[in-house]
Amino acid sequence: MANALNFNRREGYLEKYGFHDKNSYVYRTEKGVSSRIVEEISGLKGEPEWMRNFRLRSYGIFEKKSMPGWGADLSGLRFDDLYYYVKPSDKKGRNWDEVPEKVKLTFERLGIPEAERKYLAGVEAQYDSESVYSSLKGIWEKLGVIFCSTDEALKKYPDIVRQYFGTVIPPGDNKFAALNSAVWSGGSFIYVPAGVKVEIPLQAYFRINAESAGQFERTLIIAEPGSFVHYVEGCTAPVYSTNSLHSAVVEIVVKEGARVRYTSIQNWSDNVYNLVTKRAFAYKDATMEWLDGNLGSKVTMKYPSIYLMEKGARGEVLSIAYAGNGQHQDAGGKAVHIAPYTSSRIVSKSISKGTGRSSYRGLVHVRKGAHHVKSKVRCDALLLDDRARSDTYPVMEINEDEVDIGHEATVSKVGDEQLFYLTSRGLTEEEATAVIVSGFIEPIVKQLPMEYAIELNRLIELEMEGSVG
Amino acid sequence: MEERTLELLTRQGITRGAVEELSRLNDEPEWLRKMRLLAWSIYESSPVPPWKRIDLSSIHLDELTAFAPGEKPVADVAVANSIFSGDEARGGRIVQTNSVVDETLGSPLDPSLSMKGVVFTSLEKAAATHPEMVRKHLFVDAVKLTENRFVAMNGALWGGGMFLYVPPFTEITSPLQYTLIAAQSGAALFPHLLIIVGEGSSLTFVDQSATIGADGPALASQVVEIFANPGAQVNYVSVQEFSRTAKNFALKRAILSRDSRMIWTEIGVGSKVSRVSAEAILRDPGSEVQLLGLYFGQGEQRLEYDTLQLHAAPHTKSDLLYKGALREKAHSVFNGLIRVERGAQRTDAYQANRNLLLSNTSRADSLPTLEIEANDVRCTHGATVGPIDPDQLFYLLARGIERETAEKLLVLGFYEAVLQKIPLEELREAIRNYIERELE
């Protein structure tokens, strides 16, 4: 048992657990991407003309845009080697008995419910939550809340989708946003009417009939004035993917007095390039909160942004990153203050272990006229090994004088005194390190819904095992 | 013949011909001529630097002259007007006007120091008198010809310059100074400073750039190479007070050997556009650097500092504090990097950049960066941008102090934290007076 618990999903992961099966999809496009493939995707989905044109225009931009000249090493990425659209089958993909014992044990340790485990292991095509979902669905519908896949929304609510789609993140924003705009599939669409407060977090896997955890997800959230919604994407448990590129776009519009919280814990397998563009527009007195966790993937580049468009808007980014052997987490946050009397706060905590590298990359931009802006950025990094690496790349561009802008960062290792204190109280060095690490990330973890916080803590503990000696 | 060459040279633009004529004029040894020509070919093949935050398009190289003769009469006036008169340089002083070092303008090295073997002369002269030492250090270890276009230009066209060698275990108590005076508009100046401080030696050195009589320089590309040998203590102070039309680019790099210590102060108030790279390489264990910066921008000035605290060995320490106040349409950029190389354990690094915006049209960009590849380290950085604290202002106003005076006091107070760390009393006072004058 003890040995089995020393599950390290970073080592030889694909060979051991990458049990991908050949026939679990009903249709997929051929390898590579071209305008023909983009048209094919749009055609298969039976999309309206404007979306087809949007995709084609985006593809043109993707072709023209160069790769980012900064950030993580993306030289291993081969655009021609990928499938850009795979329609999953509804049938179960594989047998629960085929799932390796170690993976099952990880689920056990994380305390993941039975039904969810099957979904995560690829046994079920969707998380079987029909019973929970239908009762919740009734409540949401009564309030006028729309929660469905973006594909479905395009069919059912074309006017709302058309009004907002691509307005927060235009295809020309960056190469990967352009790619997503050309080949997007799946993702969530949420519309919350004015004054409606959705008390229970909306979770991606309460959504049925959708290609969740897609490769090129496209999420759009509209919060009308005075509303509130908390959306939770992904989960803390490892997600197995045979796709080597995940490139999502998430657009959020937070109108006057509304509040949106977006929580995502990314835990892709270690073959994945995770290159995501997330941005929210926050209007008068609105609040936008990103809680962004990055644990998995080979390379992640993700900087959730908030554009503070009108007076009184407030934004917060809480970012947590864990980089194990061979991983590079290039994460952070951006706050763009366009209007006066706006405030933002970015808190980042990162842990690098083995040969892992975690980078904080952030921007605080105060435009001309945006006076009385307050912004605080705080980054802390913990290095657990002498081969680990931590970088901090904050950028502050301040064009206005009546502002209060601050940035602070520290990089350190686990303190000898802290270790000594805990080991003198009978903890092993390993346990003590794990305790210190969970204390380090506590300020962010406590913001998570409880079940997530518990999962995340267990996961970090799991990661820490075997980290000493 | 020399007269003729000089005349030819002063009419030359930035060309290969200018490089050859300059070398001929100075009657340089073959190795140096070759180095200049190599630098020229590097210059020609290197692209315009990708400095996003600086507009290089306003520099028209074809309008510049590569060499400007020295000007005697104005030199004294310049000294009187500048922040730091140079009277404090009791140990010796070298004055360069335009492209030429004129020994009659400076003051000679203290004879007791020359007896100890200290060499303090123009770099041109040192290339003839101490060729081995110059050849061993010039564009070898600290700064490479290939760094960027402006550095290659300096390698090809440096003129005058300064060479300072302090033999081991020599304590220099009186400051030494190098003053560069730009006295001709349209000139491009390429000063090069080579400072070698022997084992266990110590000194205070002031590096000053000023303008007199005319605008400019149209372009200055400065290179400073500093070598602190084991246990050496170097106190380097740079004061950049070119006229507010100048375009100034400088690459300064110091290599710190075992247990050496450096206090490095950059003061920048001049130039229209100035980009100074101040890079400390902590190469061996026990080395330590303190980087201090003080900048004041007004009008449409654009002041950029690129700093590097490179920890290449364990048990090294660096501490940076850069403070700047900006008014009118001034714009500053602080781009600082703390880099801790793999294996540089027990590093202690700190970096702080504080900006005070005195107008709503001024702008401050701050990019404090950390790259850490060792785990047993303590690295912290912080940056702030904001206006004068309204509470502090209120406090002073409530005590009957006029707004203007109160603001002036608060700006001076803001700078005081840096000023107090500058280990040269005369300079501290001179800077206080200068800021006060400018704020009138």
- Find the length of chain A: 469
Query: Best interface-test mutation with B: which of A379, A382, A398 has the largest number of B CBs within 10 A?
Result: A398
Q: Residue A213's pLDDT is what? A: 43
- Specify whether the CB–CB gap between A288 and A316 falls below 8 A: yes
- Specify whether the CB–CB gap between B356 and B324 falls below 8 A: yes
Q: Residue A111's pLDDT is what? A: 59
Q: Which of A17-26, A427-436, B51-60, B356-365 has the highest mean pLDDT?
A: B356-365
Average pLDDT over residues A199-221: 65
Residue A239: pLDDT over 70: no
Please give, rounded to a whole number of angstroms, the shortest distance from the CA of B176 to a CA of chain A: 38
* pLDDT interval class at A13 (50, 70, 90): very low
A404–B386 CB contact, under 8 Å: yes
- Specify whether the CB–CB gap between B307 and B320 falls below 8 A: yes
Q: In chain B, count H helices and then E strands.
A: 11, 20
B372–A381 CB contact, under 8 Å: yes
Please give, rounded to a whole number of angstroms, the shortest distance from the CA of B120 to a CA of chain A: 41
In 10 A of CB A408, how many CB atoms?
18
Q: Residue B5's pLDDT is what? A: 59
- Chain A residues in contact with B386 by the CB 8 A cut-off are 401, 403-405
Residue A83: pLDDT over 70: yes
Please give, rounded to a whole number of angstroms, the shortest distance from the CA of B413 to a CA of chain A: 18
Rounded Cα gap, residues B290 and B265, in angstroms: 8
Query: Best interface-test mutation with A: which of B385, B388, B410 has the largest number of A CBs within 10 A?
Result: B385
* CA dist list (Å): A467 to A9, A325, B59, B335: 14, 11, 55, 35
Conformational region of residue A351, where left means phi above 0, alpha means psi within -120 to 50, and beta covers everything else: beta
| Closest B-chain CA to A406 | B384
| Closest A-chain CA to B357 | A401
Nearest to residue B164, comparing CAs of B177, B180, B154, B183? B177
Q: Is the peptide bond before B168 cis (omega within 30 degrees of 0)?
A: no
Q: Is A390 on the interface with B (CB under 8 A)?
A: yes
Rounded Cα gap, residues A28 and A41, in angstroms: 9
Query: Best interface-test mutation with A: which of B306, B373, B376, B411 has the largest number of A CBs within 10 A?
Result: B373
B368–A394 CB contact, under 8 Å: yes
Q: Residue B260's pLDDT is what? A: 98
- Specify whether the CB–CB gap between A41 and A216 falls below 8 A: no
Burial (CB count <10 Å: 0-12, 13-18, 19+), residue B111: exposed
* pLDDT interval class at A20 (50, 70, 90): very low
Tens digit of each residue's pLDDT (9 = 90 or more) over A44-73: 889 999 999 999 999 999 999 999 888 889
State both tokens at A141. 């519908």
- Chain A residues in contact with B376 by the CB 8 A cut-off are 386, 413
Strand, helix or coil for residue A74: coil
Rounded Cα gap, residues B172 and B121, in angstroms: 16
Q: Residue A217's pLDDT is what? A: 87
| Closest B-chain CA to A404 | B386
What are the residue ranges in chain B where pLDDT is below 50? Answer: 1
The average confidence (pLDDT) of chain A is 82
Nearest to residue B228, comparing CAs of B253, B265, B247? B253
Going by C-beta distance under 8 Å and a sequence separation of 6 or more, which residues neighbour residue B372? A381, A383, A389, A390, A391, A411, B338, B339, B340, B379
State both tokens at A261. 């919280």
Side-chain half-sphere exposure of B112, counting CA atoms within 13 A: 7
Q: Residue A174's pLDDT is what? A: 95
Strand, helix or coil for residue B168: coil
Q: Residue A242's pLDDT is what? A: 59
* CA dist list (Å): A207 to A202, A236, A251, A420: 9, 17, 18, 48
Q: Is A152 on the interface with B (CB under 8 A)?
A: no
Of A17-31, A269-283, A428-442, B53-67, the range with the lowest mean pLDDT is A17-31
B375–A388 CB contact, under 8 Å: yes
* Nearest CB to B383; choose among A399, A407, A410: A407
Q: What distance, in Å, lies between the first and last C-alpha atoms of chain A?
A: 21
State both tokens at B390. 């309204």
- Chain B residues in contact with A400 by the CB 8 A cut-off are 357, 360
* Nearest CB to B370; choose among A385, A391, A397: A391
* Nearest CB to B374; choose among A386, A396, A410: A386
- Chain B residues in contact with A403 by the CB 8 A cut-off are 357, 385-387
CB–CB contacts below 8 A, A to B: 112
In 10 A of CB B184, how many CB atoms?
25
Pairing of strands B331-340, B363-372: parallel
Which neighbouring-strand residues pair with B355?
Answer: B324, B385
Residue A456: pLDDT over 70: yes
Residue A124: pLDDT over 60: no
Q: What distance, in Å, lies between the first and last C-alpha atoms of chain B?
A: 52
Strand, helix or coil for residue A35: helix
Residue A227: pLDDT over 80: yes
| Closest A-chain CA to B333 | A397
Nearest to residue B48, comparing CAs of B152, B137, B120, B141? B152
Q: Residue A216's pLDDT is what? A: 87
Please give, rounded to a whole number of angstroms, the shortest distance from the CA of B316 to a CA of chain A: 15
Q: Residue A208's pLDDT is what? A: 33
- Specify whether the CB–CB gap between A316 and A340 falls below 8 A: no
* Nearest CB to A412; choose among B371, B378, B381: B378
A390–B372 CB contact, under 8 Å: yes
B371–A391 CB contact, under 8 Å: yes
Residue A312: pLDDT over 90: yes
* CA dist list (Å): A382 to A300, A376, A436: 18, 20, 10
- Specify whether the CB–CB gap between B220 and B64 falls below 8 A: no
Residue A205: pLDDT over 80: no
Please give, rounded to a whole number of angstroms, the shortest distance from the CA of B238 to a CA of chain A: 26
Pairing of strands A314-323, A287-294: parallel
Rounded Cα gap, residues B53 and B70, in angstroms: 34
Q: Residue A468's pLDDT is what? A: 44
Which neighbouring-strand residues pair with A291?
Answer: A263, A318
B364–A398 CB contact, under 8 Å: yes
| Closest B-chain CA to A69 | B50
Handedness of CA B71, B74, B75, B76 (dihedral sign): positive
Burial (CB count <10 Å: 0-12, 13-18, 19+), residue B79: buried
B380–A407 CB contact, under 8 Å: no
- Chain B residues in contact with A401 by the CB 8 A cut-off are 357-360, 362, 386-387
- Chain A residues in contact with B379 by the CB 8 A cut-off are 410-412
* CA dist list (Å): B35 to B39, B146, B163, B193: 6, 12, 17, 16
Q: Residue A187's pLDDT is what? A: 84
Query: Best interface-test mutation with B: which of A375, A397, A411, A436 has the largest number of B CBs within 10 A?
Result: A411
* Nearest CB to A410; choose among B366, B380, B383: B380
A411–B380 CB contact, under 8 Å: yes
Q: Residue A30's pLDDT is what? A: 79
Q: Residue A212's pLDDT is what? A: 38
Higher per-residue confidence, B436 vs A164: A164
Please give, rounded to a whole number of angstroms, the shortest distance from the CA of B337 to a CA of chain A: 9
Residue A229: pLDDT over 70: yes
- Chain A residues in contact with B372 by the CB 8 A cut-off are 381, 383, 389-391, 411
Residue A91: pLDDT over 60: no
| Closest A-chain CA to B359 | A401
A406–B342 CB contact, under 8 Å: no
- Chain B residues in contact with A393 by the CB 8 A cut-off are 367, 369
Q: Residue B435's pLDDT is what? A: 86
Average pLDDT over residues A353-376: 94
Q: Which of A20-34, A229-243, A339-353, B202-216 has the highest mean pLDDT?
A: A339-353
Rounded Cα gap, residues A51 and A38, in angstroms: 11
The DSSP result for A360-376, as a single string, is EEEEEEE-TT--SEEEE
In 10 A of CB A93, how many CB atoms?
18
- Find tokens 């001076």 and name the residue: B412
Rounded Cα gap, residues A118 and B399, in angstroms: 73
Residue A243: pLDDT over 70: no
| Closest B-chain CA to A411 | B379
Nearest to residue A290, comparing CAs of A330, A262, A314? A262
Q: Residue A107's pLDDT is what? A: 62
A392–B363 CB contact, under 8 Å: no
Going by C-beta distance under 8 Å and a sequence separation of 6 or more, which residues neighbour residue B432? B412, B415, B419
B368–A403 CB contact, under 8 Å: no
Handedness of CA B41, B46, B48, B54 (dihedral sign): negative
Side-chain half-sphere exposure of B325, counting CA atoms within 13 A: 19
| Closest B-chain CA to A394 | B367
- Specify whether the CB–CB gap between B314 and B342 falls below 8 A: no
B365–A402 CB contact, under 8 Å: no
Please give, rounded to a whole number of angstroms, the shortest distance from the CA of A401 to a CA of chain B: 5
Give φ, ψ of B134 to 5 degrees. Answer: -65, -45
